Amino acid sequence: MKIKTISGLLAAMMFSGCMGHNALTQKVVKWNLETAESRWGREGIFVGLWITLVYPICAFLDLLVFNSIEFWSGENNLNGKSPVVDMPKEEVQKLGLHQVDRARVERLTDTSANLYIDFENGDSATFDVIRTGSSYAVSYRGVEFYQGKVSDS
**Does an H or E element contain 138, and which?**
strand 135-140
pLDDT at 97: 47
**Does an H or E element contain 105, and which?**
strand 100-107
Among candidate residues 99, 92, 104, 96, the one with its CA nearest the CA of residue 143: 92
Count of other CB atoms within 10 angstroms of residue 115: 15
So where are the chain's domains?
Answer: 2-85, 89-149
**Average pLDDT, integer, range 142-151:** 80
Q: For 5-62, how does the pLDDT look when each residue is reduced to its tens digit (9 = 90+)?
A: 887 766 665 555 567 778 888 888 888 888 888 889 989 999 999 999 999 998 888 8
**Average pLDDT, integer, range 61-83:** 76
pLDDT at 48: 93
State the Cα angle at 15 between 12 and 19, rounded to 5°.
115
pLDDT at 20: 72
Cβ(71)–Cβ(85) below 8 Å: yes
Q: For 75-113, how does the pLDDT look when each residue is reduced to its tens digit (9 = 90+)?
A: 777 777 666 666 666 666 666 545 777 788 888 888 888
